[in-house]
Amino acid sequence: MPQSASHSRLYRIESRNGAAALVLGGDWGGASRLPTSQRLVAELVAARGDSEAPITIEGHDLESAHPRVAALVYAVSQGLRSREIAVAYTGLPASVSSLVALARPPAADAASGSRAHWLTRLGAAGRNRMEAFTRAAEMVGNAFVATPRLSVGKAQARWVDFMALLRETGASSLPVVTVVNLLIGAVLGFVGAVQLAAFGAGLYLADLVGIAVAREMAAIMTAFIMAGRIGATFAAHLATMEANEEIDALRMIGVSPFEFLVLPRLTALTLMMPLLFLYAAALGIGGGMIVADLVLDTSPASFLGRLQDAVAARHFVIGFVKAVCFGILIALASCYLGMRAGRNAAEVGRAATRTVVVSIIGIIVIDAIFALCTNALGV
Amino acid sequence: MAVLDRTRTPDAGVVVRDLTLAYGSTVVQHELSFHVRPASIFVIMGVSGCGKSTLLRHMIDLEQAAQGDITFDGQRLWTENVAERRALQRRIGVLFQSTALWSSMTVGENVGLPLQLHTRLSAAEIRDQVAFKLALVGLAGQESRMPSELSGGMQKRAGLARAIALDPDYLFLDEPSAGLDPITSQRLDSLIMNLRDALQLSVIAVTHELPSIFTIADDSIYLDNESRRAIAHGDPRALAANAEHARVRAFLNRQSVDASTRAEGDGPESPARSEVL
């Protein structure tokens, strides 16, 4: 006598003379929620009790052979087999049984997701860090060795690429460098004008804007822009090349990826950063001068005159040297992180982001070191 | 999701009518017309650059042609009704040439994402469905691996599992066996045939791999890259012997076109199913 264990048009579990059966029926296409296979397995095992007989899955009452049936039958069968319970099918539509027959259960050794001991993982992480450090040092070393080769025209780089890089890093960056530095100069001008005017020292605005821009702001703001604009581009480009095996192809024709890819980028950025710095400093001071004229009625002529007296050339030299260092940092960081990226799309994005983050942190750290050194030297 | 035993109507399957493929003013193929019967494997063949992949991209609605029409079981692909169009697109599964597995997701997430987005199944049932689809392609238990950890053949099969995740009625394969060794390629071929039988799929495959073509094709079309037209249509095994055009015979027999022209006139041309469209 069938004893109904649960009532549903779609399925019911019966136990007949100790043998459990899963009886499927109805139209599965419309049902939005079905019982989970785990629940069915648990119910079947409970209905089976201590019996040794195989569990039957019946499909005589199915109105359609919806693909969901096949997935459920497979899942229930797998669940039962993993508990070493035999399964038999009766009355399943041909398409369902052929699908279930086609599905191959996992190999016995497939599940090997065991994690290593935490000490092992810590050691491996440490070794990875050490290796990354070695590689970074190697790249800096390469830069020192290869730069003289470039200057005597012996490096394996293409002029066309180099020129395109010069344009990309230099001329193409001008609009954004212009906007940012002009506004930074103007903002410094406003802040300074209000404070200095309170003491009747409005004329000294030229000192404030001139020194701040020449020594700090022009170089730092330009470096931030280049990190976002050029560093990210370099990293994404090289990471994509790595993913497409283009870098391996270069190695195979005997070209050093460092000389072909890194050196032109390094040189272009190192050459362009100081030039952009000079341009940015001029614009920043220009921004301050406009504000001085508008807010304090200081004429451009007297502003520039004061600037000449107040801002010594050494302030520009310090900014200039910083700009060179920032350029080297951004170029090496972007190329290093780009070439070390993994071979997939997500890694390309990650390389670009990490380049920007590393560059910005590096820029601030280098700036702080400069501040310490110039302070100690009294310049 | 579709019900497996579909009723057969005269428009059943995929019908392409007078489709002209062009990029700007450059015509890739003129006036293509053919019919893919339900639950059969249809191969689009031709030499590199003949427009096979372009045709496939049009048939899966990634591009729209200015001229011609495609219907799936009588339903027009390029209707103005966006909801209908999306609904039809969900009945189409695609295995891309590069497999296009999303590299930041595990294999299980790759197969499960279409189910999450397009069905209201519970998380547990999605898990069951993913396990089942992976078992169908012989990748049972590989849910948590990343695509980059799989071999080329396994990636193809994972791509296939994703393509059949929503139980499509039509399966498009772009160069399924490209880059695979003969044994893996043969396994993939038999898997495709098994899936066609079990899921009653209409399979449209773009390929120029001859062993694959002869194994899986129920019907085929040859796109010519000189006349920019389909110059042969029919069972490739018959076409290899009897195709009217020398270029088709050369392609299917892996000969130079000259050798195939010389062999012309060796016996009467069989009408088989060789025809010029």
Do A81 and A197 lie in one domain? The reply is: no
Question: B140-145 — which CB contacts under 8 Å span 24+ positions?
Answer: B140/A103, B140/A104, B140/A105, B140/A106, B140/A107, B140/A110, B141/A106, B141/A107, B141/A110, B141/A111, B142/A106, B142/A110, B142/B107, B142/B108, B143/B106, B143/B107, B143/B108, B144/A113, B144/B106, B144/B107, B144/B108, B145/B106, B145/B107
Q: Does B276 touch chain A (CB under 8 A)?
A: no
Q: Could you tell me if residue A341 is inside a domain?
A: yes
pLDDT recorded at residue B261: 64
Do A349 and A233 lie in one domain? The reply is: yes
What CATH code is carried by the domain that includes residue A53?
3.30.750.24
Could you list the pLDDT tens digit for every one of the 379 residues in chain A? Answer: 344 334 467 788 888 777 888 888 887 766 666 778 888 888 888 888 777 888 888 888 888 777 788 888 899 998 888 888 888 888 888 878 888 888 877 776 544 456 778 888 899 899 989 988 898 888 888 888 877 777 766 777 788 889 999 999 999 999 999 999 999 999 999 999 999 989 988 889 999 999 999 999 999 999 999 999 999 999 999 999 988 888 888 888 778 888 889 999 999 999 999 999 999 999 999 999 999 999 999 899 999 999 999 889 999 999 999 999 999 999 999 999 999 888 778 889 999 999 999 999 999 999 999 999 999 998 8
Q: B53 in helix, strand or coil? A: helix
Q: B151 in helix, strand or coil? A: coil
Do A153 and A256 lie in one domain? The reply is: yes
pLDDT recorded at residue B86: 83
A144 min Cα distance to partner chain B (Å): 36
pLDDT recorded at residue A146: 79
pLDDT recorded at residue B49: 86
Residues of A in contact with B103 (CB under 8 A): 344-347
pLDDT band at residue B3 using 50, 70 and 90 as cut-offs: very low
pLDDT recorded at residue A33: 66
> Is the Cβ pair B195, A102 closer than 8 Å?
yes
Higher pLDDT: B275 or A13? It is: A13
Q: Which of A32, A65, A98 sits opposite B197 (nearest CB)?
A: A98
pLDDT band at residue B262 using 50, 70 and 90 as cut-offs: low
Q: What is the mean pLDDT of chain B?
A: 84
Do A77 and A183 lie in one domain? The reply is: no
Do A166 and A251 lie in one domain? The reply is: yes
**Residues paired with B93 in a beta bridge:** B171
Domain boundary among A50, A68, A102: A102
- Residue-by-residue DSSP string for A1-52: --EESS--SSEEEEEETTEEEEEEEE-SSS-S----HHHHHHHHHHHHTT--
Question: Does the pLDDT of residue B271 top 50, yes or no?
Answer: no
A130 min Cα distance to partner chain B (Å): 25
| Closest C-alpha to A289, from A280, A281, A298 | A298
Mean pLDDT of B111-133: 88
**Residues paired with B17 in a beta bridge:** B69
- Number of domains observed in the structure of chain A: 2
Q: What are phi and psi of B37, to 5 degrees?
A: -70, 150
For chain A, positions 113-132, list CB contacts with chain B under 8 A: 113
Q: Could you tell me if residue A246 is inside a domain?
A: yes
Q: What are phi and psi of B75, to 5 degrees?
A: -95, 125
Answer whether B61's CB lies under 8 Å from B223's CB.
no
Do A53 and A174 lie in one domain? The reply is: no
Tokens at residue B160, please?
């296939």
Do A332 and A215 lie in one domain? The reply is: yes
Mean pLDDT of B214-243: 91
Buried b (16+ CB within 10 A) or exposed e, B53-77: bbbbbbbbeeeebeebebbbbeeeb
Mean pLDDT of B105-122: 88
Q: A113 in helix, strand or coil? A: coil
> Is the Cβ pair A78, B131 closer than 8 Å?
yes
Do A170 and A303 lie in one domain? The reply is: yes
d(CA B152, CA B154): 5
Query: Does CATH place domain B14-91+168-262 in 3.40.50.300?
Result: yes
CA distances B60 to A106, A244, B78, B94, B96, Å, are 33, 26, 10, 8, 11
**Residues paired with B233 in a beta bridge:** B221
Q: Could you tell me if residue A244 is inside a domain?
A: yes
| Lowest pLDDT segment from A61-65, B32-36, B131-135 | A61-65
B108 min Cα distance to partner chain A (Å): 14
Question: Does the pLDDT of residue B267 top 70, yes or no?
Answer: no
> Is the Cβ pair A74, B138 closer than 8 Å?
no
| Nearest Cα residue in chain A from B122 | A33
pLDDT recorded at residue A6: 40
Do A201 and A279 lie in one domain? The reply is: yes
pLDDT band at residue B83 using 50, 70 and 90 as cut-offs: confident
d(CA B39, CA B22): 30
Residues of B in contact with A97 (CB under 8 A): none
| Closest C-alpha to B58, from B87, B23, B101, B10 | B23
pLDDT recorded at residue A1: 38
Domain that holds residue A301: 145-377
pLDDT recorded at residue A109: 54
Domain boundary among A72, A102, A132: A102
Question: Does the pLDDT of residue B263 top 80, yes or no?
Answer: no
Q: Could you tell me if residue A153 is inside a domain?
A: yes
Q: Does A66 touch chain B (CB under 8 A)?
A: yes
d(CA A83, CA A97): 22
pLDDT recorded at residue B5: 42
Sketch the domain layout of chain B as residue ranges: 14-91+168-262, 102-166
Do A206 and A92 lie in one domain? The reply is: no
- The per-residue pLDDT for range B135-176, each reduced to its tens digit, is 988 898 899 999 888 988 899 999 999 999 988 999 999 998
pLDDT recorded at residue A114: 60
pLDDT band at residue B7 using 50, 70 and 90 as cut-offs: very low
Q: Which of A67, A110, A346 sits opposite B104 (nearest CB)?
A: A346
| Closest C-alpha to B75, from B178, B126, B2 | B2
